Homo-oligomer: A and B are copies of this chain.
Amino acid sequence: MSLATAALLQFPATPAGVSTDADAVRGELDVRLVMRHAGARLLRLRYELVGAAGAPVVLVAGGISAHRHIAANAGFGEKGWAEGLVGTGRALDPGRCRLLGLDFVGADGELDVPIDTADQADAVAALLDALKIERLHGFVGYSYGALVGQQLAIRHPHRLAILVAASGAHRPHPYASAWRALQRRAVALGQLQCAEAHGLALARQFAMLSYRTPEEFGERFDAAPEVVNGRVRVAAEDYLDAVGAQYVARTRVDAYLRLSESIDLHRVDPAAIAVPTLVIAVEGDRLVPLSDLVALVEGLGPRGSLRVLRSPYGHDAFLKETDRIDAILANALRLSGDPA
């Protein structure tokens, strides 16, 4: 695909927060993207690239709440969203590869239009152009990131050698779509009268039930309910309060709404994914059922393979079962320096 859509490159941009210390660089660039549902738009892309120049590049993209800061590094010391997966000796070792992270289009909350996963893939291709990365050694996508990876493999197959698609199918399950639609309604209810944060917190709390499992809740929240100020309060509510507050503190409402929608817009033909693809599925994921990932792998034909985990963390297993995910990634990415 032509990248005539990516014009107006400003690279490297140097606003506040940019650093090139210690093999870690953050940057931004403005691109003009022809979006599937919203026409031509000027967008600002934000990325972080960590690791030795010349090493193979692995892009790591997470769920709709993930961002460009994958893990703490010498340049940017705060924790990242996939902290447990990155480090010396890990499959994602900044000593042996360069790790590329990005903020999804729409994640800054500045874009109030439907966003397609195809748009995200075009933005990734524009970013790779700007960074002069011809081809990713690997694209590791988890949840929403897996959908973006599928689109990149369909629209720009020459830009990646291997796709690892964890906990994200070629289309959303109708039950999961209904669940997300109701979360968006919670936000809309809050917006009715200036309780936007309240609605967003409730949406996140409902989402958390889809990310985790009854097994985990059964172990953690076994205590009897209490009656507080005449109302019943169940054992999980302290946790859910914290989940909501954390999310509201770091998330713009439009970012949440539009990226949530974007998951529901995703529909691709697995046969069109023209890149070797490892699918990681979690038995017990309430959002992305194993059966849908089996269908994805079947559609991939000889290019597809499947690894299935059992985990009480369900959809969040990618972020929680880091040793097991690391072993799978090590095998899939086979970076130089790995044992044969």
A interface residues with partner B (beta carbon < 8 Å): 37, 113-114, 173-182, 185-186, 189-190, 192-195, 198-199, 202, 205-206, 209, 213-214, 217-218, 220-222, 224-225, 227, 230-237, 240, 261, 264-265, 267, 286, 289
Contacts and interface: CB of A to CB of B under 8 A. Distances in A.
Contact of A193 (B177, B194, B261, B265): B194
9 closest cross-chain pairs (CB), A and B: A175-B214, A175-B217, A232-B261, A178-B236, A174-B221, A177-B234, A193-B193, A174-B217, A181-B234
A201 to B, nearest CB: 9
Contact of A198 (B192, B194, B206, B233): B192
A209 B206 CA distance: 11
Contact of A174 (B194, B222, B231): B222
A219 B181 CA distance: 18
Nearest to A261: B232
A37 B230 CA distance: 9
A242 to B, nearest CB: 13
Given A182-B206, A192-B193, A232-B264, A177 B214 contact: no
Q: Which of A185, A222, A231, A289 has the most CB of B within 10 A?
A: A185
Nearest to A212: B175
A268 B205 CA distance: 28
19 contacts: A37-B227, A113-B230, A114-B230, A174-B235, A175-B209, A175-B218, A177-B235, A178-B234, A181-B233, A181-B234, A181-B240, A182-B240, A185-B202, A189-B198, A192-B193, A193-B193, A206-B206, A232-B265, A234-B264
